[in-house]
């Protein structure tokens, strides 16, 4: 896998992949021991994330390529303390579960 800087218009090609199917949700309960999480099955529904089209001048976008195909992207913004924050990360549906997001996060470190 190769990771390199990509222009925003190239990164936008993955925005159609920015969704997933929700089958379970977390319920949060307060107990004497603190917060407890439990999962609950729900009727499946699609969760879409809309990309913010306003590119920040202090941001950079990197793409993950396998066999010259763009399969993932990560958008990073610089913060006030000279660190970076992940603004957006997307992996194509055909490459999810194969370590692409992990590689992008490791690259960002």
The domain spans of the chain are 2-108
Is the predicted pLDDT of residue 83 greater than 70, yes or no? yes
> What mean pLDDT, rounded, does the chain reach?
89
Question: Which residues, other chains included, contact 109 with Cβ-Cβ below 8 Å and sequence gap of 6+?
Answer: none
Give pLDDT tens digits for 33-82: 999 999 999 999 999 877 665 556 678 999 999 999 999 999 999 888 88
Q: What is the pLDDT of residue 76?
A: 93
CATH number of this structure's domain 2-108 = 3.40.630.30
Q: What is the pLDDT of residue 61?
A: 93
* For the chain, percent of residues with pLDDT exceeding 70: 94
């Amino acid at each position: 896998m190769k990771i390199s800087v990509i222009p925003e218009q190239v990164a936008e090609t993955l925005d159609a992949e920015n969704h997933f199917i929700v089958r379970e949700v977390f319920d949060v309960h307060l107990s004497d021991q603190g917060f407890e999480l439990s999962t609950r099955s729900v009727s499946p529904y699609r969760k879409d994330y809309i990309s913010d089209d306003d590119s920040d001048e202090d941001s950079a976008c990197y793409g993950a390529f396998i066999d010259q195909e763009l399969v993932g992207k990560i958008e990073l913004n610089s913060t006030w303390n000279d660190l970076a924050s992940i603004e957006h990360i997307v992996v194509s549906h055909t490459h999810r579960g194969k370590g692409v997001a992990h590689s992008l996060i490791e690259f960002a470190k």
